[in-house]
């Protein structure tokens, strides 16, 4: 983040990660646009950030699945942004795999939110990045996208698609100086993971936000968080398929 | 919304409790958790920093909501000092955010780690009680989610009965989601403290009552090991705001290791410590500039200082006694401790100004005494004896610190309990909100 005035658009700002990230960049003086579905809650976060860090904050309603409204959404973003735009997307849904083994509606929702929602929005945001000098597009993906596991493969496949998309977008926007960063978090202490069995070494949203901002400064392309997940996923990816198919992880 | 099995203790750490915990991040989550608990017919209690000593923050075999992520500041007017915040905001945060704008919390308990939610539900008091009353006196309105999952905003004008039952209501009326209150002006970030030796209990209480309200803050420490003509001797601290700011940066607190043996605090070590602590202040007294937070939170320099009492934990007893009976009853309380050969390194005495706004508020005009007791085989008996003395002399035990009180004694001390129960019954028909404490004293 340079001295230039930055605006950060936080997509999925009601989540603890979204809130922590918004606070972290607000500390450094950025203008904040909080986007999500729960307006009352976003207003609460907006006041909190304004009072604590003294930066202007706006709330914009946003529904990833409501593709038709994305044009209008971008218009509002353009109206409120000052200086350079940056994006942090941290929304996703994760219905239980048991449910998605038979419930097409849940599958569709997962694909729509986790993959299409982002692609639709980023496609419409691209012209802004083509015209401005630099800026970051930071997306929270998941280690679940690295390999299709029996326990979580619909969700995982949306994240795999997202990772491939972001890799392409990174190449496409490279010439414009846009920094596209993919974050692959392991376990984080969020509402999504609360009460899930088998969690270990969970990172707090505050620790995560600090690490993300540091990685953005360094211009990282893909980031595992916490870092040791890179090792875990390297091992998991190297297991031959004929063995992996027998594993119930 | 999901639940997670957790085990935790209150500050006294005498018992570990297992519960199913939810952790809401927004009002919607709170409603969801409340509705789930109502459907499951399990008791529910919202908890904050768990700095209360006894079982006020415990909910054995039931559900709790950890309010730590509901910690946003929702509104602040820098001219009037009126603030609205979520219950998980801590006193430390308020000092860090607003002291350099010359505002501080109106009333604060003895630790900055406590939350605003806890301050409301225990109607906490501080070293400025004579002048400023307790926390509830500064609240304009409270927003809470009741047992039907409805959001209610209560104040002296709207649902006054529920408002007065929620202040000092031990979390039994609903889950607080926002509190609006008036901050206090803090002209500087420091106080000029006047330390004075008090020779015995009579002089001590005379001085406390005579000087009542003359200083912004006042608090006294008693040397519990002193006997005979020295019984009740100690150091009184009286403080006013300093004229200018002083350099201050709050340090990260030091941690106390888990391995401290339970006998680290015994009568001998207490005697040595107390003697030095008393003689630290010269006979003619001492004046000193102290950063405000250091003065208000002297023990916060050590995180987990409760570990000093070892694995078995400790009890705290805090009572308040009317001015008229204070000297006699406190002399008897100190005597009871000596007879039982039990001493407390941490013994605090202060005056209180008036009754609190809550139905179950602890304060009354009088003198309050707080004692820590290591958890030994004799401790419970001593505490019961003290309860007896306090009840006989028209006093009260502070529920936020209690682990021991029985229903009959509680009712004698808190004659408004019936009003409280009527209000609770009418808003929480299914008795969803409950705690280990409330079941113990049949609230």
CB A77 within 8 A of CB A126: no
For residue B97, which residues of chain A lie inside 8 Å, CB to CB? 51-52
Residue A168 burial (10 A CB sphere; 0-12, 13-18, 19+): exposed
CA distance B278 to B203: 16
Sign for the CA dihedral angle at A57, A60, A61, A66 comes to negative
Which of B 138-177 lie inside 8 A of A, CB atoms? none
CA distance B428 to B435: 14
State the pLDDT at residue B267.
79
Nearest CA in chain A to B76: A51
Read off φ and ψ for residue B321, nearest 5 degrees: -130, 145
State the pLDDT at residue B111.
96
Nearest CA in chain B to A195: B4
For residue A191, which residues of chain B lie inside 8 Å, CB to CB? 1, 23, 25, 29
| Shortest distance, CA A219 to any CA of chain B (angstroms) | 30
**Which of B26, B75, B76 lies nearest to residue A41, judging by beta carbons?**
B26
Helix (H, G, I), strand (E, B) or coil at A16: helix
User: How large is the average pLDDT for residues B303-309?
Assistant: 83
**Interface contact flag, A16 B2, Cβ < 8 Å:** no
What are B104-126's pLDDT values in tens digits? 999 999 999 999 999 999 999 99
**Interface contact flag, A52 B86, Cβ < 8 Å:** no
What are B180-212's pLDDT values in tens digits? 999 999 999 999 999 999 999 999 999 999 999
3-state helix, strand, coil in chain A (%, to 5): 50, 15, 35
CA distance B432 to B150: 13
Q: Which residues pair with B142 in a beta bridge?
A: B154, B179
**Which of A38, A45, A196 lies nearest to residue B28, judging by beta carbons?**
A38
Q: Where are the alpha helices (DSSP H) in B80-182?
A: 91-98, 116-121, 129-132, 160-166
Q: Where are the alpha helices (DSSP H) in B250-358?
A: 267-279, 292-296, 323-339
Which of B 14-73 lie inside 8 A of A, CB atoms? 22-23, 25-29, 69, 72-73
B75 Cβ under 8 Å from any chain A Cβ: yes
Read off φ and ψ for residue B141, nearest 5 degrees: -150, 160
**Interface contact flag, B25 A44, Cβ < 8 Å:** no
CA distance B405 to B408: 9
Residue A223 CB contacts under 8 Å (≥ 6 apart), including other chains? A181, A182, A183, A184, A211, A212, A215
Structure-token pair, residue B324:
């008229």
Preferred mutation among A195, A200, A206 to probe B, highest tally of B CBs within 10 A: A195
B211 Cβ under 8 Å from any chain A Cβ: no
Structure-token pair, residue B48:
């904050």
**Interface contact flag, A48 B72, Cβ < 8 Å:** yes
Query: Which of the 8 DSSP states describes residue A190?
Result: S
B101 Cβ under 8 Å from any chain A Cβ: no
Q: What percent of chain B has pLDDT over 70?
A: 100
Choose the weakest-confidence range: A62-66, A176-180, B266-270, B387-391: B266-270
Structure-token pair, residue B225:
């090991």
**Interface contact flag, A194 B23, Cβ < 8 Å:** yes
Q: What percent of chain B has pLDDT over 90?
A: 86
Closest CA to B200 of B230, B241, B240: B230
State the pLDDT at residue B330.
97
Closest CA to B66 of B1, B12, B150, B123: B1
CA distance B226 to B274: 9
Read off φ and ψ for residue B197, nearest 5 degrees: -75, 140
Closest CA to B394 of B412, B420, B416, B371: B412
State the pLDDT at residue B31.
98
Ordered by where they begin, the domains of chain B are 190-403 (3.30.70.2520)
What are B329-370's pLDDT values in tens digits? 999 999 999 999 888 878 999 999 999 999 999 999 999 999
**Interface contact flag, A41 B27, Cβ < 8 Å:** yes
**Which of A41, A45, A51 lies nearest to residue B28, judging by beta carbons?**
A41
Helix (H, G, I), strand (E, B) or coil at B175: strand
| Omega within 30 of 0 (cis) for the link into A133 | no
For residue A38, which residues of chain B lie inside 8 Å, CB to CB? 26, 28
Measuring CA to CA, how many Å separate B102 from each of A187, B86, B95?
Answer: 41, 21, 10
B77 Cβ under 8 Å from any chain A Cβ: no
Nearest CA in chain B to A45: B72
CB B416 within 8 A of CB B359: yes
Model ipTM? Answer: 0.93
What are B139-178's pLDDT values in tens digits? 999 999 999 999 999 999 999 999 999 999 999 999 999 9
N-term to C-term CA, chain B:
29
Spans of chain A below 50 pLDDT: 1-2
3-state helix, strand, coil in chain B (%, to 5): 35, 25, 40
β-pair type (A136-140, B175-182): unpaired
CA distance A108 to B395: 65
Read off φ and ψ for residue B208, nearest 5 degrees: -60, -45
State the pLDDT at residue A2.
45
β strands within chain A, DSSP E: 6-11, 31-36, 57-61, 84-89, 136-140, 179-185, 222-225
**Which of B1, B26, B75 lies nearest to residue A14, judging by beta carbons?**
B26
State the pLDDT at residue A201.
78
Examine the pLDDT at B391 and tell me if it is beyond 50.
yes
Measuring CA to CA, how many Å separate A1 from each of A51, A128, A224, B377?
Answer: 22, 18, 21, 61
For residue A199, which residues of chain B lie inside 8 Å, CB to CB? none
Residue B58 CB contacts under 8 Å (≥ 6 apart), including other chains? B8, B10, B15, B17, B435, B436, B437
**Interface contact flag, A14 B1, Cβ < 8 Å:** no
**Interface contact flag, B75 A51, Cβ < 8 Å:** yes
Instruction: Give the count of alpha carbons within 13 A of A143, CB side only.
Output: 19
Sign for the CA dihedral angle at B127, B128, B134, B136 comes to negative
**Interface contact flag, A44 B72, Cβ < 8 Å:** yes
Examine the pLDDT at B25 and tell me if it is beyond 70.
yes
**Interface contact flag, A51 B73, Cβ < 8 Å:** yes
User: How large is the average pLDDT for residues B230-240?
Assistant: 96
β-pair type (B63-66, B17-22): parallel
State the pLDDT at residue A117.
97
For residue B22, which residues of chain A lie inside 8 Å, CB to CB? 194
User: How large is the average pLDDT for residues B221-248?
Assistant: 94
For residue B28, which residues of chain A lie inside 8 Å, CB to CB? 38, 41
**Interface contact flag, A44 B86, Cβ < 8 Å:** yes
State the pLDDT at residue A4.
63
For residue B76, which residues of chain A lie inside 8 Å, CB to CB? 51
Structure-token pair, residue A67:
């593709």
Q: Under CATH, domain A6-244 is a member of which superfamily?
A: NAD(P)-binding Rossmann-like Domain (3.40.50.720)
Which is higher by pLDDT, B194 or B302? Answer: B194
**Which of B2, B69, B73 lies nearest to residue A52, judging by beta carbons?**
B73
**Which of A14, A47, A195 lies nearest to residue B73, judging by beta carbons?**
A47
The full set of domain ranges for chain A reads 6-244
| Shortest distance, CA B76 to any CA of chain A (angstroms) | 7
Preferred mutation among B26, B98, B180 to probe A, highest tally of A CBs within 10 A: B26
Sign for the CA dihedral angle at A67, A69, A74, A77 comes to negative
State the pLDDT at residue A3.
52
State the pLDDT at residue B161.
98
Which is higher by pLDDT, B269 or A68? Answer: A68
- DSSP notation for B13-69: -S--EEEEEE--SSHHHHHHHHHHHHHHT--EEEE-S---SSSTT--TTSEEEE-TT
Examine the pLDDT at B2 and tell me if it is beyond 50.
yes
**Which of A19, A48, A195 lies nearest to residue B3, judging by beta carbons?**
A195
Angle B154-B158-B163 from CA coordinates, rounded to 5° = 40
Structure-token pair, residue B355:
């009754």
Query: Which of the 8 DSSP states describes residue A134?
Result: -
| Shortest distance, CA A169 to any CA of chain B (angstroms) | 33
Q: Which residues pair with B151 in a beta bridge?
A: B145
| Shortest distance, CA A180 to any CA of chain B (angstroms) | 29
CA distance B293 to B310: 27
**Interface contact flag, A191 B29, Cβ < 8 Å:** yes
Structure-token pair, residue B131:
């002048």
CB B174 within 8 A of CB B151: no
Preferred mutation among B6, B25, B67, B177 to probe A, highest tally of A CBs within 10 A: B25
Measuring CA to CA, how many Å separate B303 from each of B91, B114, B249, B270?
Answer: 15, 13, 17, 20
């Amino acid at each position: 983040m340079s001295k230039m005035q930055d605006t950060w658009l936080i997509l999925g700002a009601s989540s603890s990660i979204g809130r922590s990230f918004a606070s972290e960049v607000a500390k450094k003086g950025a203008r904040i646009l909080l986007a999500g579905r729960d307006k009352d809650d976003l207003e609460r976060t907006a006041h909190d950030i304004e009072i604590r860090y003294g930066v202007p904050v706006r709330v914009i309603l946003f529904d990833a699945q409501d593709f038709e409204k994305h044009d209008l959404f971008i218009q509002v973003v353009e109206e409120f942004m000052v200086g350079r735009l940056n994006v942090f997307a941290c929304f996703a849904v994760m219905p239980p795999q048991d449910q998605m083994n038979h419930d097409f509606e849940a599958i569709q929702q997962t694909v729509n939110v986790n993959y299409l929602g982002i692609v639709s929005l980023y496609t419409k945001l691209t012209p802004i990045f083509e015209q401005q000098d630099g800026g970051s597009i930071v997306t929270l993906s998941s280690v679940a996208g690295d390999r299709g596991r029996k326990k979580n493969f619909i969700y995982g496949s949306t994240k795999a698609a997202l990772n491939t998309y972001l890799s392409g977008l990174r190449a496409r926007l490279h010439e414009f100086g846009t920094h596209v960063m993919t974050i692959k978090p392991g376990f984080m202490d969020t509402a999504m993971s609360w009460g899930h069995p088998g969690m270990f070494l969970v990172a707090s949203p505050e620790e995560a936000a600090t690490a993300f901002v540091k990685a953005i400064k360094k211009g990282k392309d893909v980031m595992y968080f916490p870092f040791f997940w890179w090792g875990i996923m390297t091992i998991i990816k190297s297991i031959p398929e004929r063995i992996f198919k027998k594993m119930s992880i | 919304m999901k639940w997670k099995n957790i085990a935790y203790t209150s500050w006294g750490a005498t018992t570990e409790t297992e519960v199913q915990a939810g952790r809401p991040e927004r009002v919607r989550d709170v409603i969801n958790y409340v509705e789930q608990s109502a459907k499951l017919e399990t008791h529910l209690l919202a908890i904050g920093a768990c700095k209360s000593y006894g079982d006020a923050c415990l909910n054995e075999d039931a559900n709790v909501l950890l309010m730590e992520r509901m910690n946003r500041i929702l509104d602040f007017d820098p001219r009037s000092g009126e603030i609205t915040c979520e219950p998980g905001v801590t006193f430390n945060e308020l000092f860090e955010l607003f002291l350099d704008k010359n505002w501080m919390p109106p009333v604060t308990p003895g630790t900055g780690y406590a939350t605003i939610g806890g301050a409301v539900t225990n109607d906490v008091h501080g070293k400025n009680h004579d002048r400023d009353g307790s926390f509830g006196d500064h609240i304009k309105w409270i927003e809470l989610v009741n047992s039907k999952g409805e959001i209610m905003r209560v104040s002296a004008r709207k649902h006054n009965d529920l408002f007065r039952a929620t202040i000092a209501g031990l979390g039994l009326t609903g889950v607080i989601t926002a509190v609006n209150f008036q901050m206090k002006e803090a002209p500087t970030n420091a106080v000029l403290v006047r330390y004075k030796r008090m020779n015995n209990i009579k002089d001590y209480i005379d001085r406390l009552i005579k000087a009542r309200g003359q200083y912004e803050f006042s608090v006294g420490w008693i040397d519990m090991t002193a006997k005979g003509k020295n019984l009740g001797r100690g150091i009184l601290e009286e403080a006013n705001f300093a004229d200018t700011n002083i350099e201050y940066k709050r340090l990260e607190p030091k941690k106390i290791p888990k391995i401290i043996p339970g006998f680290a605090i015994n009568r001998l070590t207490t005697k040595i410590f107390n003697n030095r602590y008393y003689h630290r202040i010269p006979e003619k007294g001492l004046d000193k500039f102290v950063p405000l937070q250091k003065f208000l939170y002297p023990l916060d320099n050590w995180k987990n200082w409760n570990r000093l009492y070892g694995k078995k934990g400790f009890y705290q007893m805090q009572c308040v006694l009317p001015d008229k009976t204070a000297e006699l009853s406190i002399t008897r309380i100190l005597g009871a401790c000596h007879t039982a050969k039990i001493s407390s390194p941490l013994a605090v005495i202060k005056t209180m100004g008036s009754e609190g706004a809550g139905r179950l508020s602890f304060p009354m005009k009088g003198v309050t005494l707080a004692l820590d007791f290591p958890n030994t085989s004799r401790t419970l008996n001593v505490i019961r004896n003290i309860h007896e003395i306090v009840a006989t002399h028209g006093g009260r035990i502070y529920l936020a610190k209690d682990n021991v009180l029985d229903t009959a004694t509680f009712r004698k001390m808190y004659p408004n309990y019936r009003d409280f129960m009527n209000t609770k019954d009418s808003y929480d028909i299914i008795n969803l909100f409950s705690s280990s404490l409330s079941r113990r004293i049949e609230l």
